[in-house]
Each structure stands twice: as C-alpha cells, then as structure tokens.
Structure 1
Amino acid sequence: MSRHRALRAKVRRGIAKWPVLIVVFVVLIGLGWLVFSWAGGVLDSRARALAQNCSEGDSVLRVAATPSVAGAVADVARAWSATRPVVYDHCIAIEVTSADSAAVLDGLTTTWDSNKLGGRPHAWLPDSTLWANRLSALNAKLVGAAPKSVGTSPVLLAAPEAAAPVLKDFRWSDLPEVTDWSKFGQSWGRFSVAMPDPSANTASALAIQSALAGGKGPVTAESLGSEASKAKLTKLAATVPPEVPPTTREALRRLGDSATVNAAGFSVTPVSEVDLYKHNTGKEAPSKPLVGVLPVGPAPVADFPYIALGGPEVGEAEVRAAQAFREFMTQPAQQKILASGGLRVESTQDRPSPSPGISWTAVTENLVPADATTTQQISSAWASADRGGQVVTVLTDVSTSMKPRLDKVKAALRGQVDRSVSGAFGLWEFARDLDGSKPYKQLVATGPVAEKRDALRRSIDGLKTADGSQLYTSLAACYETAHDGFVAGRINRVVVITDGASDGGIDLAALKSRLHGKDLAISFIAIGGEVDKDALNDIAQTTGGSVSVVENADGVDAALGQVLSTKA
C-alpha cells in the first residue's frame, strides 16, 4: 500500500511540458530580436562611419604609367579600388593612363595637354629614375616624395634570331669597339647599334652608361671628363648608323620587319626586357620574335620608380592617396600582378608565359648607376659627340645678386666644356655697361670646342659680378649673333643662366619681335625665386626651348646637363 501512495505522490508533483516550451520560445524570440537589433546597429554605425569618412566627397587619383607596364598597373589599381580606399575623408577613385615618359616630362614642365594625355597626373611611373632626375633638374618642386621602385627590368640587346647566338659572349664595354661582324666570325658586314635619343629612351641612356663604366661602375663626373671616356664616346658615336629611329619602339619594329641581319640598317638596339616582352607578345608582334641578349658582366637595370608628384595642381588628398597607392603596389599580391606583366620583383620568381624571345636569364650583378647629376652629364656628353655635336652659346648673368652663386655656375660651365667631345661652344656675360654702354660682352665666339677649350676655361675662370641685369637687351644681341652663325644639320641653341628679372634696356615685347621662330631654341636655367618665370616661359615656348627652375646654384650642373642632353 505504501508503494502505491508513493506513486500517486509523484504523479501529483509533475510539471506539464507545454508551458516550458512557451517560455523557451518567448526567450528565443527575445534573443533573436536583440541580435537583429545589434546587427542593425552595427551596420548603421558602419554606414554612418563610411559617410563620415567620405564627408569631403570623391577624389580621383590619376597615375601616368609608361606603356610597357600601364596594363599591369591598371590591374593593380582595380585591386586597390576593390578595397574602397578613403583618404583624408575623400573616397578615392583611381585612373591609370598609358603615356610615353618624354611626353609626361614635357607636359609637367611646360603646358599639360589634356586632350592628348588625359588629366594631369598626381603620380608618375616611368621606366627609370633617369626621368625623376630630369624632372628634378627642370623643377624640383614637382617631385612630391622620394621615388620608390616597384620592379626592375634589365637592359638587353634586341637582335634578330640568327644573330643572337653569336652574341653570347658580348659585353657592354664592347659597344664602342666592335664595328664589324667579322669579330664574331660572320660575314654580315658592319656591326652597328641603333641608339635612339638617350634623352628620351632609357635603354639607350643606360647602355651608354654601361659602355663608359667598363665594369660595375659607377661613372663619375671625374671619369666622364677623362680623355679615355671622350675617346669611348667618339668611337661609340661612330658605330651609330646614319639613320637612327627616334624611339626604341620604332627600332624594334624595324628590326622585327627585317628578313636578314642588318636589313634594318643596323644590327641591334638596346631595350629593357619588359619592353621587348611587350613587343614580342603585343598586337603588332613580329612573325619572328626578336631575341633578347643579356650581355656578360654587370647589367644596367631600369628601376621603374613610382613618383608622387608635387606642385600647386596636386591637393593634400591626392598627395596622401598617391603615397597609399605606392605602398599598396609594393605588397606581395600586387607584386605578383606586376611580375605577370613582365617586371622582375623580389617577392616572386614568376615569369609570364609564353614569352617568345625572352629567356629571363638571371642577373648576377647590377651596374652601379651614376648619381643624378652625373647621369645628366652623361647624356649631355653624348649629345656633344653624336652627329658632330651641338652648337651652344651660353649667356650668363653676372649681376651682383649672382655673387654667392657664381662659383657654382663657373664649375658647371667648366665641367661642360671639359666633357664636351665635339661640337661648338661660345660664352657671353651680361649685367650693365660691361662693354662701354653695352650691358653684354661676348667673351668667346662660338666655335669648335676642341679649338676653343682653353679660351673658354680662361673666360669662365675670369667671370666676376657687376651692377645691373639688362637681360632682354643682352639676349637679343646674343640671339642674333647665334642666329647669324647658325650651322645647318646641327642642334643650335642659346642657354641663359640667370637669377633675376631684366631691370632695363628693351622690354619683353621688343625682344620677342626680334626672335625668328623655333629654329634656334632659347633655354633658361633660372636660379631662385626672383626671376620672371612667366616671361621666361613665354620666350622659351616661342623659340622651342625650355625653362629649368633650380632653388639654388647647387642645381645648375644637373640642369645644364639636362638642357644640353635634349634634342630640342
């Protein structure tokens, strides 16, 4: 009986299941509502934060890239855009345009042509620091931050398929010495190297530097002024064919269209590895790819620097965005994208495939490049040797404001005279009442530099300051004399070094009325901030010249080298 009472007691104390289920269901609904509210709040918070971060609206970062890597850089830009970059409360969009470096340099330092080049860039990716040096020599304020390499490409010799195996032991130091294919046991006749203008073609500039170095480098200002270097430049200029294509791209096209060795009018041409890869795989690839030969010994290397630009056209948001994109480009994932486009990067050994004509030979030693100033001097020294050299008349300011700067100007002028291989050189000075009532004086009449070198040195060393600065009257006289002595078939130019505005004599309009178009270029090297830049730009553009702006006299040497290295 007691057991039955116990069972009845248990039944009476039991709890029904349906109330428990209801409670659990209510709790779950409550928790779900809380989770939903929290998630919604997070999303709303993020939306508010994003709106706040872009409170300054949208901004466009424009990047100009050299054609050989523009496609790969555009791929990197798309990857960056996918991260929805925000800089200084601006939502950043990015545009990458393909543009030849010579056109970008000209546009940045003169007048930017948006119709031809697109919007003015905030960052620039040329194929070599040579371009950063040139930009700094023309206007250092346009370089907003120190350039940073995003990849490299060694310089090769592009050769027809039949010629490439013959050149397996070729060295860059052979360039000035080899003049005939018989050296390699071949009967193809003259061995000549197409050297497109090194002031506009990086591969040519680096090849010349390697030929002068004769080893691992670097070429220095002292070695460049030696008789040995001048002899090498003379020999190298003699190996250049009569008709040289204006660009490396055109030289490759002519070689690729040739059925036999030397049919293009030359034997080989220097080219960066990535440029040759693009040529052999592009839309207009030759039926037989050109072969890239990596000469034996230290290799000149194009370093593809990313340059964040400066100047009044670049706002703070664009400056920061340019720097952020630079850092993004150097990350491993983006480096792989650049490698797939033909650049060499440290983080991967990946190479594009197929790559006809390119063996991707390992570079065991890089040429040590010359410093920025010497680099400019190498180009101007080549210009003094190529095609018989230039006809240059220098008009230098010797007003009293030049006194603390004159020693640096003298050093730059003397160095140029010492390094000049051939061509003609003349020297004038100006201030006020230097030659009777004339504000100018011709110190050395323009003539063959080899004959005038001693007289030029003495006149340069004897420069001293005087009162006044009658620039326009002096330039008119110097220009007219140079125009009367114009040498057909040569580059003729007047180079003016000054640190101030004209303070008397004829005015700008009178000077311009005496100019004769663009057959004789006037280029200026303007020191400091007291010059009338608008007036100088007006004169330079009228005659096809240029204006280099340097903050102090330390920049004169590089600026002079830059001016004298260009074809215009």
Structure 2
Amino acid sequence: MGRHSLPDADTADDGRSRPRVRRRTVAIACSLVLAVAAGTGAAVQTGLFSFADSCADDAVRIDLAASPDIAPVVRAAADRAREEGLRSDGQCMDVRVVARQNHEVAELLATGSNSPDYEVWLPDSAVWADRVQATGDGVPLTAAGNVAASPVTVASVASAGTELGWPAKTWTWARLTSAATSSERLRLGSGDPARSATGLLALTSVARSAQGSSGASDTTVAAAAKALSQRVSDTDAAAAATLARAESGEAAGDPDRNQAVFLSEQAAHAYNRATGEGIPDLRLFYPSDGSPALDYPYQLVDETALSTDESRAATRFMALLAEPASRRALTAAGFRTPGEEVPESLVRAAGGREPQPFTGEDAATAALPSDMLQQTLGMWTITVQSARLTTVVDVSGSMQTPVPGRGMSSRLDVTRATLKQALAGFTPEDEIGLWEFATGLDGTRDYRELVPTDPLGPAGRAGTQRARLTEAFDGLSAVPNGATGLYDTTLAVYRKAQDTFVKDKFNALVVLTDGSNQDRFSITRSALIAELRKLSDPGTPVPLIAIAIGPDADLDELVEIAEATGGTGYQVSDPAEIEAVILKAIMTVGQKGRAPQE
C-alpha cells in the first residue's frame, strides 16, 4: 500500500523513507539485550559518546504528526529524550516530530485507503479524531490521554475591546458574536470551521448560546455564519494574521483587517509574544456561557498494527510529555496542562483580565456534544456554499410500513414530516427540488418531477419555493402496488442535475428509499454505475447522497451507486433521523470536494 504524503509545515525529519515493521515481536536473547542496555546506559550517563553512537542500531523509532501550534514543544521534548538517552524497555527512543495541519491529516486518515506513515497523531482537538471515526472506514485511533488544553475565546484588538466593554463587561457567545457582526466598525473573522477546530467549536458555541437565549436561534446562527463566511481564513494562524495592528495604523479601518477573531488562548498568547514585551496587543473575551477548549488528544494510530516496542515507546513518550520539564515548556508556550492550576501570568500574557475569564458554574458546561458539532458543520457547509439539492423520495407500497414505536405512522408519514422540518435549516438562497418514484407511477416511467429545483425564498411567505415544497411534501402518497424503480430513476435525476448544474453551489442528489431495485425492465446495476461514471464530471460535481430507510433497504447497493458519483450512502432505522443524516452527508461529501489533492 502507498503512504500518505502531506506537505510539512515544519519538519525535523531527514527526508528518508524507511520500511515499517508492523507486527508484534517478542524479545530474544534477553541477557544480551540487558547487557547492551546496561553498557550503553552507563556510557550515556558518563557522556562517553552521543545518542547516535550508543543507540543508532537499536533505537525504537516513533513518527509523530503534531498540530503546528504544539509541534515545537513536542519536538523539543523528543530532542531532550534523544539527548538524554531516554529508554523504553531498555531501548532508546528516536521520536521524529513533524507539524501537519489537522484537517489534512483527518481527511487522509478518514479515507482509510493508505497506511499512515506515523504511529502517533497529536491534533489540537478530539473533533478531528471524531471526524475520522465517523466515516466508518477510517484508520483506527486509540486515545491515550490529553497533553494540553487551551480554551476558545474571542480575541479583539485594543480599540474593539474598549468598544465591547473589555474587561468589565461579560457576554454570552450569541450576544458577543451578534455585537461583533452587526457593527460596521467591528469586523469578526475566524478559521474556517471545516478546517479549524477553534472555528467549529466557537460557531457551535454560538449556536448553543442562541438556542438558550432566543426563539430565533436558527436566524441568529445563520446570520453569524454568513458574516463569518466573508472573513474566513484557512487556519487559526492565518486568522490571527488578519487582525489590525494599531502601530501600523490598520486599526483605523482597513476593510481587509479584522478587529476580532475566534482564537484559542494559546494562539493569542503566541500572537502577543510575537509583538514583543509590554502590554499585550489582544484583549480576550471568555463568554459567560462557557468556553470549549482545544484538548490535544494523544492518539495511537492503528494500534493493533504497532509492534510491541512501538506501542510501549509511544506510551513512554506521552509520559515524558506529562513530566515537569515538559509541562513547564508547555506553559511557557501558552498551553494549559491537564490537572494543574492555570497560572495567572499565562492568562494575562494571552490578554485575559478579571472578570475575564469567566469562572461561573456555567463554565463547566462548555463541552459540546458531537451531534451538535456535526450539525454546525453541515450548516456551515450549506451557508458558505449555498446548496442545490434535488430530493428523490421512494413512494413504493412498502413505504406504507409502520415505523416501530411511532404508532400507526408509516415510513412515508415520518419521511414527509422530517423533510418539512429540514426545510427550516436552509437559507432563502438554497435551492431544493422534489421527485418521487415507484413502478407504475407515471405510465412506463418510474419517476415524476413534482417541484423543479429552485431557490427557496424567505420563510413564512405564500407563493415561494419553500411553500410549494411544503405542499408537495404533504401530498406525497404511496403507490399501493408500486415497487422500487431505483435504477431508472437515479439515472434520470442524475442527468437532469448535470444538465441544470449551478456553479458556486453545492449541487447534490438526495435519494431516500426503503428497498432495492425491483423493476425487472430497468437498466442493470452495472450499466447504471457505468453510465453514472461516464456522466460524472469533476468540473460539475453532483454527488449522490443515498439514504436507506429501514432494514429492507440494500445499503451496499446504494453505497456502490453513490460512490460512482463521488457520493456516499447511509442507513437509518427511523425516517426521523433523515435530517441529521443529510447534514452529516453534506459535511462529509462537501469536505471531500474541498480536500487538497495528494
């Protein structure tokens, strides 16, 4: 198998490639090993020769991919381990640390198609590990603990901080973001929530805050996301670089500069330190409804494929990162360390002052559930790149089957209600259309277009696309003796979607079915897949999102068909789960489209 290859932001490797032995081993010739270990240990302690002389032949090599912000501290610990001849089970440790962007590593691990070229991954947040595992096909990851932490904040330049009442005034996430995005004088930026855990955690905090404070939470979050999408950066470091600097006159109103950004405490600490001694440039707001934190999880990559020596050495190195010398280095770099009191000097150097950071009871509730993060990411994908979705609903007779636990409500009843509810999550610029399908539906055809795919328009108004779709959803009814005409329908809808492709929007098909193809007169599966591959065009991507409803649907069939278009397939036991799955699919497929090419 090939190996992942990523551009290194900062690397200490010598550029060599090396064969990897990935099997459990048992030590042999124990007495000889112990004798060699004792001899080399004494030599190192007396300084008779270097690491290379004493350990070059038997050192256990560990490759570690680290988030760029923490990589320098981790590399320094690895250098110290090498210089001091730190041992794992009698063998020296040769830990090679490379800095790699978190979203790039997550995307490559999520595919599961190649063997990773590192044994340990240290991203800035468990968000990335969750994203890898959510696909089901990702490389297995084993969490071994957390190395550091850093709360997510809103960092502002001095002038904006004064306008927002820093430090005396405390804000919730929703109110602070609204204040920063509704003023022409205050421009708020962020790392792209699809590529930045800080950006995603902050935007999700805004969403949760809005739910707790306003009946118009969807509108509040959509407005914040739309404003942020105009001022987004690929990384947190790039977002920090957009901040106006008072000494250069940028704070006066350069439209390309931001007055505030979502930023981790550590990133603010690094920013202030780079400006030199004196009063910190940034003012940090720690919202009163709790700041989520980057948690720097130490992940063993495909642990079952590690040799015993590799696994133990990786664990030993993590223990080194928890030792006092390493913790002092982490604190000096602006990181909080697990289980230790946070030095006031760290917070002040980052730009925090009482009553910032907030220390009330609500601060303990800042952890964000994974489903909420997923929903935010799906919403962000739609907001940044307006969606154009054609929804294709199975109305065969089997859709009349009652859903367990929902009384007499059928699969189609629950599907109708869920699709109507999902409309609320789309903006007026998003385009949605509706087709239905079943054999015997429209003469010799298995499918019928009910509502052409057009912009939804504002909510609550008659005559809009949104109103037409709501009426059409209500009108969906099962064909009593109709079977599932999946293949012909999929091909017809895909051709129409390609013909009506809209540039600069997220074009996709969403096919909902509770069965496999039952039309014996239709195109064959192999012919369908061949035709979809022929029609598929990277310049006009239209991925198919296939959702199998209930236990009778053939998920493998749907996945195979969807993958021919660059899409994916999912299965739900209850149609009520459709909305969450659509958001997850949009996020997953949208990320594939944005991922850098290898």
Amino acid at match of 1:530: D
Q: Deviations over 1:238-289 (max 9, x none)?
A: 644745434433232122466224423543111111122334445x999996
- 2:538 is matched with 517
Amino acid at match of 1:349: V
Check whether the contact 1:143–1:307 (CA below 8 A) recurs between aligned residues: no
Structure with greater contact order relative to length (CA < 8 Å, sep ≥ 6):
1
- 1:564 is matched with 586
Q: Is residue 252 of structure 1 aligned with residue 240 of structure 2? A: yes
Distance 2:443 2:66 in 1: 54
Of 192, 197, 211, which aligns to 1:197? 192
Distance 1:180 1:356 in 2: 26
Of 495, 499, 504, which aligns to 2:525? 504
Q: Deviations over 1:179-216 (max 9, x none)?
A: 6898xxxxxx433322443222222222222323338x
Check whether the contact 2:542–2:565 (CA below 8 A) recurs between aligned residues: no
Q: Given the superposition, is the C-alpha separation of residues 131 and 484 from structure 1 closer, same or farther in structure 2, using an over 3 Å criterion?
A: same
Q: What's the secondary structure of 1:516's corresponding residue? A: coil
Q: Is residue 46 of structure 1 aligned with residue 34 of structure 2? A: yes
> Which structure: larger Rg?
1
Q: Given the superposition, is the C-alpha separation of residues 170 and 363 from structure 1 closer, same or farther in structure 2, using an over 3 Å criterion?
A: closer
- 1:272 is matched with 264
Check whether the contact 2:395–2:476 (CA below 8 A) recurs between aligned residues: no
- 1:7 is matched with none
Amino acid at match of 2:202: A
- 1:8 is matched with none
Amino acid at match of 2:87: R
- 2:220 is matched with 232
- 2:48 is matched with none
Q: Percent identity?
A: 22
Deviates more, 1:147-156 or 1:325-334: 325-334
Give runs of aligned pairs for residues 463-502 of structure 1, distance below 5 A. 470=486, 474-495=489-510
Q: Is residue 162 of structure 1 aligned with residue 162 of structure 2? A: no
User: Residue 143 of structure 1: CA displacement?
Assistant: 4.1
Give runs of aligned pairs for residues 225-374 of structure 1, distance below 5 A. 228-237=216-225, 239-240=227-228, 242-256=230-244, 259-263=250-254, 264-281=256-273, 290-306=281-297, 308=299, 314-315=305-306, 317=308, 322=314, 325-326=317-318, 329-330=321-322, 334-345=326-337, 346-350=339-343, 358-359=351-352, 362-364=357-359, 365-374=363-372
Q: Given the superposition, is the C-alpha separation of residues 508 and 352 from structure 1 closer, same or farther in structure 2, using an over 3 Å criterion?
A: farther
- 2:74 is matched with 73
Distance 1:288 1:305 in 2: 28
Check whether the contact 2:192–2:235 (CA below 8 A) recurs between aligned residues: yes
Deviates more, 1:419-428 or 1:238-247: 238-247
User: Residue 482 of structure 1: CA displacement?
Assistant: 2.3
Distance 2:144 2:393 in 1: 32
User: Residue 376 of structure 1: CA displacement?
Assistant: 0.7
Distance 2:324 2:571 in 1: 38
Q: Is residue 206 of structure 1 aligned with residue 201 of structure 2? A: yes
Distance 2:334 2:204 in 1: 24
Check whether the contact 1:204–1:270 (CA below 8 A) recurs between aligned residues: yes
- 1:129 is matched with 126
Q: What's the secondary structure of 2:69's corresponding residue? A: helix
5+ residue gaps, structure 1, are 1-41, 183-188, 541-545
Q: Given the superposition, is the C-alpha separation of residues 99 and 340 from structure 1 closer, same or farther in structure 2, using an over 3 Å criterion?
A: same
User: Residue 377 of structure 1: CA displacement?
Assistant: 0.8
Q: Given the superposition, is the C-alpha separation of residues 93 and 412 from structure 1 closer, same or farther in structure 2, using an over 3 Å criterion?
A: farther
User: Residue 291 of structure 1: CA displacement?
Assistant: 0.3
Give runs of aligned pairs for residues 82-231 of structure 1, distance below 5 A. 82-86=85-89, 93-110=94-111, 120-139=117-136, 142-146=139-143, 148-167=145-164, 168=166, 169=169, 171=171, 172-175=173-176, 177-178=178-179, 189-214=184-209, 228-231=216-219
Check whether the contact 1:523–1:563 (CA below 8 A) recurs between aligned residues: no
Of 443, 453, 463, which aligns to 1:446? 453
Check whether the contact 2:149–2:295 (CA below 8 A) recurs between aligned residues: yes
| Structure-2-length-normalised TM-score | 0.66
Distance 1:342 1:204 in 2: 19
Distance 2:80 2:441 in 1: 64
- Give the aligned length: 498
Q: Deviations over 1:406-448 (max 9, x none)?
A: 9699497666434334422335567877655556555654334
Amino acid at match of 2:88: P
Q: Deviations over 1:280-318 (max 9, x none)?
A: 445x99999640422441332223242535659944645
- 1:420 is matched with 426
Check whether the contact 1:512–1:539 (CA below 8 A) recurs between aligned residues: yes
- 1:530 is matched with 556
Q: What's the secondary structure of 2:195's corresponding residue? A: coil
User: Residue 69 of structure 1: CA displacement?
Assistant: 1.0
Check whether the contact 2:303–2:311 (CA below 8 A) recurs between aligned residues: no
Amino acid at match of 1:447: D
Q: What's the secondary structure of 1:178's corresponding residue? A: helix
Distance 1:77 1:400 in 2: 64
Check whether the contact 1:273–1:292 (CA below 8 A) recurs between aligned residues: no
5+ residue gaps, structure 2, are 1-29, 40-54, 405-409, 460-465, 518-523, 549-553, 594-598
Q: What's the secondary structure of 1:165's corresponding residue? A: helix
User: Residue 100 of structure 1: CA displacement?
Assistant: 1.3
Amino acid at match of 1:96: V
Amino acid at match of 2:292: V
User: Residue 534 of structure 1: CA displacement?
Assistant: 7.7
User: Residue 229 of structure 1: CA displacement?
Assistant: 1.3
